[in-house]
Amino acid sequence: MTGSYDDRDGKIWLDGQLVDWRAAQVHVMTHALHYASSVFEGERAYGGTIFRSRDHSERLHFSAGELDFQIPYSVDEIEAAKASVLAANGLSDAYVRAVAWRGAGEDMGVASARNPVRLAIAAWEWGAYYGDAKFKGAKLDIAKWKRPSPETIPVHAKAAGLYMICTTSKHAAEAKGCSDALFMDYRGYVAECTGANIFFVKDGEVHTPKADVFLNGLTRQTVIDMLQERNIPVHERAIMPEELEGFEQCWLTGTAAEVTPVGQIGDYRFEVGTLAREMVEAYETRVRG
């Protein structure tokens, strides 16, 4: 499937029914368009099975609750809808996007309690998020923005509004020839990238930022489990930027990113080493198992 995302063949599940892709429309007065009252999930299907599908659906409900709205479909109904989208589009290996938002209704101010909550699910073929970086290592910029304090935003929700600084930071990174950008948090600690969590290796042990001000990704959780199964020590902790110089290997994790080695962050360089490559292969085996 190629072309603009509003002009494709196929079906999208919208508010309880499958509709033609081009007919899946919303009004310009939709509350989410004006006030970012929207949450979403990005998921991948491998061989017709969505990896950790139910966890994604449950997190979608959690994120909606963090934004003070309730999705009018149960987790079971969302699971059935995702399966119907894959079947209707004849997809086996695919990216799946579920998005819930406050639609157009009686309210058009900051408050929108009377507006309907809508849900859509789409799926399409999507290759490696960072292209050939899985083989040679991604190059990362360091973002000028910082991940905010949990006192300012719902940091554990996968909410559309939280990605504003991700978009601007990734644009800046791409303009420099980089694949992505690394954020520090409001305290100055290493945090995450625009759409992926980050891991480092030093002396055979793994270090990753503690997920206390950003989303604890499902892929992140899976990779930590796989490392622990191999008896590799994993330290979830505060990491200072100056520590980057001492790390030997680095990789990113995320549903879109899967496991992607990193070769450079700013002026710091990393080996695309044995453990990074092993985790790429191990994750591929896990999701297709």
CB-based contact 226:253 (threshold 8 Å): no
- Longest Cα–Cα distance of the chain, Å, equals 59
Catalytic residues: 158
CA distance 117 to 65: 12
The DSSP code sequence of 63-131 is HHHHTT---SS-HHHHHHHHHHHHHHTT-SSEEEEEEEEE-SSS--SS--TTSPEEEEEEEE----TTT
The C-alpha torsion from 206 through 128 and 134 to 253, rounded to 10°, is -10
User: How many Cα atoms are found within 13 Å in the side-chain-facing hemisphere of 161?
Assistant: 21
Residue 48 Ramachandran class (φ > 0 left, ψ -120 to 50 alpha, else beta): left
Q: DSSP 3-state assignment of 59?
A: helix
Alpha carbon of 282 to those of 45, 129, 132, 227: distances in Å?
17, 18, 18, 10
CA distance 165 to 281: 31
Helices (H) and strands (E) in the chain, counts: 7, 15
DSSP character at residue 256:
T
Strand partners of residue 44: 95
